[in-house]
Chains A and B, each alone.
Chain A
Amino acid sequence: MAYKLIGQNFAPHDVVAKVTGRAKYAEDFRAEGMVFCKLLTSPMPHAKIRNIDASDALKMPGVFGILTADDVPQFPPPQTPILAKDEVFYVGEPILALAAADETTAADALEKVKIDFEQLPHVLDPLDSLYPGGPNARSNGNVAAAQINLQTVKWQAGDFGDDKTLPMGKPAETWSYGDLDAGFKASKLVIEESFVTAGYSHHSMEPRTAMAHWQGGKCFLYGSNQSHTAAVPNIARYIGIEPKDLVFIAEYCGGGFGSKIPGYPIMAVPALLSKKLSRPVMMRITRIEEYSIGTARPTFQGHAKLGFREDGKLLAADLYIVQENGPHIGGGDFRSAGNALSFVYQPDAMRFRAIPVLTNTPLRGPQRGPGENQLVPAIEPLIDKAARQLGIDRVQIRKINAPDSNGKIGADRGPVTSAFMKEALDKGATMFNWEEKKRRSGQKNGNKVIGIGVGQGYHSAGSNGFDGLVRITPDGKLHVHTGVGNLGTYSHSATARVPADLLNVAWENV
């Protein structure tokens, strides 16, 4: 089918508002009588909160009130709390919020809040925490993630190997399929290496500022978010209200990179403070606060062992990932990394082991292809090494192992709807002129050497449950309602072009 819109150049309708400054982000909204709140955050990586005394602060003129953990919904660990209760787990963890007529007054008042901390041992490296007698990031455990209960795991000293091998003690999650030992035995080449990946902050240009007020029993929340459908139920849960009582306004999102998809706990602070004080509350998140609560990619320390047949086919893969997960629920990156290896390279047999270890580091969360992208720098160089040692072209060895739409993923070897990795490799090689460029590889030009490379990765595309609504109004306009969020990806426009094309509506009328 030939499309009129899909695949053609177009201008998204919202781009003019971006170049004229009329696009409204969370901090651009105002409400009558709006006051400002500031956060008091933890100065320590790990401490007990013995007492909070805000009485002097509350006596100051211009101060309207505070919000503490006692005022907000509680969630069982390892879920990230809205405000710290009894214990803080990282520098910059929000403890309380204080609202005042202006931010300077709020900051002055925060100086008068007395907090009695009892400092506790902290840990930054997961291996330190796994070591016998090593510190735990939390009083109640050192290992947790989504679908992994909070628990304490210590390895034996003997599990810690030497610097060439990763310690491989008891994992928190493991699965396998196929006959791993037989696979390695049948392999012509076995390559084994450790890897470490970095954990950088998301740092969207727009910090996670939010403003809230209440009207007619509903909470109006202006926030920065990548999605609407995925966010509303979660944000309502953080505030402790029904989704129907939340009016979530997120017209534009100044970047999220995965950190602003299902809403986030700090959004509840202006909402609940506004309810408590019966005033609109603006919470401007600073760049420094964004470092702490804006999340970062979880880091991996891992080990991979790959066994190849003579023709380059991957027969067996053994992957172990120790994930630095921050102090709370963190990310499921380790899990999607395991799935990625099982999918992108289609090994005949595979074992996956992982342990997400809690650390007193800023919040961790999904970022740009979570897990799958950390796996790329870990595995792709090993594929290159195998190609060199087996005398196979680097694109070719990837094609040999690449999935098509019959590819299988994960422990249960589940199906995928479609995959075109071989086609992508072919297309890339043609566009890049791989064969020609390959001949130039290694050529020297003064102090520069030409090098060429190929890499691949995957991220699942599309989700169910984001169903939209299409309306045609008497003025001939097509209205496309979708829960997909508005950030730099223009996914709303891409989505809207599908019904426009099918219904033969000109783009100007969408």
Chain B
Amino acid sequence: MRNPLRSEAEAFRFVIITLAAFAAIAIATALGGWIAGTLVFLLVTVIVFMSYYRQPGEEPVRQTPAAHSPDEYRLLVIANETVAGRELFDTIVRLTRDHDATVLVVAPALVDRTHAWTSDVDPARAAAQGRLDVSLANLAAAGIEATGEVGDGDPLVAFGDAYRTFGPDEAVISTHTPEHSGWLEQGVVEKARERFDVPITHVVVESVTA
């Protein structure tokens, strides 16, 4: 949705729209009484709302990560149900084996809207934490220094949060296959590549064996 007060020019356009809308309402009321005026008001409100709602929002700001020591290699991993997947584990090992690496694994809590609105997020966070623990244990067993955290339910927000504080040199987003991945349906990988100034590897996990 486009913000009607995004800038002075947008606000000025909104003045013109308001002027036209209320002129129409006043004319309708003068000609057909308050019922006609109310109908025009409702009609105009719906049209204006839909018009703004359908316009694309502002482009996200492309972000740059926080800096860290040049000798250190930092890898950010965003994964949830696939966090303990074999393909993801192999990718992390491959990317970190030639570096003095620090890995941060972020598992966004999968919270649907109903639970988010009712603040009933604890079960989803607990489930994410459980999967994360398995993944961290596997990485530790392979000799990889990794920390983990449960992130925001929106994978892009979780990515952004970790991105700004952790400052990764590279990132991995792990998803299910395209037929089963909600993240891929939402275009999470493409949006992350547009938004964050860091190389991103997309890993598809066929099946998860915890």
Chain A partners chain B: no
Chain B interface residues (CB < 8 Å from chain A): none
